[in-house]
Structure 1
Amino acid sequence: MPSGRHLIVAVTAALLMSGLSACSDDDKNSRVDPAQVDAVEPPELGACRVLTPNDVGKTNNATRTLDCDKPHTAETFAIGTIPESIAATGYKSEKLGLWAYKTCATRFEKFLGADESLVMRSIVSWAWFRPSEKAWKDGARWYRCDVVGGGDQAKAYVNLPATAKGLLGSGKPQDKWMVCAQGASVAGSVKVPCSQKHEWRAVTTIKIGKDEDKYPGDRMAEVRTREFCSDSVGAWMNYPVDYDYAYTWFHEAEWKAGNRRSICWARTPE
C-alpha cells in the first residue's frame, strides 16, 4: 500500500448536487396530466418531463410530458410489465422494489452506454414508478424507469440533453456529467458536477463482494472499501508520495438490492 495521508470518510449512497431546474408549488396542479393519474395503459417510452426530487420520492407520477427539445429534467428510458409472480407479492412489497431496482439499474447502464462504475460516478440517476393504487386494483401492472438529472438527495435537478441515450458512452464523459465534491472532506460536502470548482473527484469504484456473497457487515464492508480505495486512488494518481483519498461505502439495504461497489474519491482541487 502506498504511503500518504489517508482521509477516511464513510458517507451514505446518496449524492448531493447543486441544480438549476425546479418547479414551485404554485404550478403544481398545472404539472399534473389528469389522463395519467390513474392510467391503466403503459406510459410512453422516451417521454420527457420536468420532475423534481419531491416527484421522485413518490410511488407513482402523472407529471405532464413535454417536447424533449424543451428544458426537462427527466426522460423515460424503460417501460414494461411487472411479472405476475412479482406483482402478486403486493403493491409496495420489498420483492417488487428489489425487482424494479435490478431491472431499471441494468437498463440504465445500457441506456447511458456506460458500465456500473462509470454510472455510479456520474451526477445522473434514475427513478421508477408504478401505476396508482386505483389503477393497480384495475389490473395495471406496468412500470416506468426515468433518468433524472440528479441524485437521491439533490434539492433540484439539472436539465438533460434532448436525449440522455449514450450520454456517458462516447469516449471520455464531459465533466458536467461527472460527480465531484466541494468541501474540506467528502462527508457532508456539496456534490457538484466536475465542471464546477471542487476539491474531490470520484475517480474509481471498487467491488467488495461477489453477487452470491452474503453481506459482510458494516465494519467489514468499510474495512474492505478503505483498503481497496487506498490502492485504487494511489494507482489512479500514479502513486504520488503523498495523497488524500476518501470513500463512499454502502450498507445492507443496498447490498440486498444488488450493489457490490464502493466509490473511491481523490483530492484533486480544481
Structure 2
Amino acid sequence: MILDMKIRKKFAFILSIALPIITTSHIPNANAAAKPMPKVGSCYNLTKADVAADYSDIAPINCLKEHSAETYRVVKLKANDLAVNYDLKKAITVCAPWKGRSKFLNYWAWYIPNPEQQKAGQNWIRCDGMITQNYDEATGDYTAVTTWKGKRLDFR
C-alpha cells in the first residue's frame, strides 16, 4: 500500500510538469495565426527590403512616431480567390484607384498573409502608401523610403 502511494505521488508530480509542456507544444504557432487582419490607417516602419518582401510581419506602430508606410486599403478576399495567387497585375486591381495622385506619397506596395496566417484561413491584401527618395518612374527603382511623423494619407 505504501509503495502504491509513492508511485501515485511520483506519477502526479511527473504529470504536473509534463502536462503543460505536452499541451502547449502541439499548438501550431498560435501567435502567428492569431494576428488580426490589418486595418486601414495603420502605420509601419518599413525599410526598402521590407517593402520588397511578399509578407510583412512587422507590427503596426503609432502614426505619431517615425514611420515610412501607411495602409490605405485592406481587402478581404473570397475563399476561392486566394491572396497567394496574386501577382502585380491582380494586386493593382485591388490597390487601385490610387494612381500616384497624392501630394505626399509616390509609391505603393502590397502584402498578403504569411504562410501561418494563410493556414489559419486569413485571406486579404494590404495596400500601403509611402514616400520614396529618388524614385525613377522608368525603372520603378528608388534609393530609400522616407520616414515621417503624423498621417500623410490624402487619398482613399
TM-score range, shorter chain: 0.5 to 0.7
Q: What does residue 143 of structure 1 align with?
A: 125
Residue 130 of structure 1: how far off its partner (Å): 0.6
TM norm structure 2: 0.63
Q: What does residue 104 of structure 1 align with?
A: 95
Structure 1 runs, 4 residues or longer, greater than 4 Å off: 34-40
Q: What does residue 61 of structure 1 align with?
A: 56
Q: What does residue 43 of structure 1 align with?
A: 38
Q: Supply the AA of the counterpart residue of 1:155.
A: T
Structure 1 residues 93 and 124: alpha-carbon distance in aligned structure 2, compared to 1, 3 A threshold: closer
Q: What do the CA deviations read for 1:91-143 (whole angstroms, capped 9, x no partner)?
A: 2444xx4332122121xx2xxxxxx4745x97621111110112112211122
Distance in 2, Cα, partners of 1:101 & 1:43: 18
Which sections of structure 1, spanning at least 5 residues, go unmatched? 1-33, 110-115, 168-270
Aligned partner (choices 88, 91, 103) of residue 84 of structure 2: 91
Residue 160 of structure 1: how far off its partner (Å): 3.6
Q: What do the CA deviations read for 1:186-225 (whole angstroms, capped 9, x no partner)?
A: xxxxxxxxxxxxxxxxxxxxxxxxxxxxxxxxxxxxxxxx
Higher helix fraction: Structure 1 or Structure 2? 2
Contact 2:71 2:126 in 1 (8 A): yes
Residue 81 of structure 1: how far off its partner (Å): 0.5
Distance in 1, Cα, partners of 2:30 & 2:116: 13
Structure 1 residues 117 and 140: alpha-carbon distance in aligned structure 2, compared to 1, 3 A threshold: closer
- How many residue pairs match? The answer is 121
Q: Supply the AA of the counterpart residue of 2:68.
A: T
Contact 1:47 1:76 in 2 (8 A): yes
Aligned partner (choices 127, 131, 152) of residue 113 of structure 2: 131
Q: What does residue 171 of structure 1 align with?
A: none
| Secondary structure of the corresponding residue to residue 129 of structure 2 | strand
State which drifts further: 134-143 or 153-162.
153-162
Q: What does residue 70 of structure 2 align with?
A: 75
TM norm structure 1: 0.39
Contact 1:59 1:129 in 2 (8 A): yes
| Secondary structure of the corresponding residue to residue 126 of structure 1 | strand
Matched, 1:165 2:153: yes
Contact 1:40 1:131 in 2 (8 A): no
| Secondary structure of the corresponding residue to residue 91 of structure 2 | helix
Which sections of structure 2, spanning at least 5 residues, go unmatched? 1-28
Q: What does residue 156 of structure 1 align with?
A: 144
Identity of aligned residues (%): 24
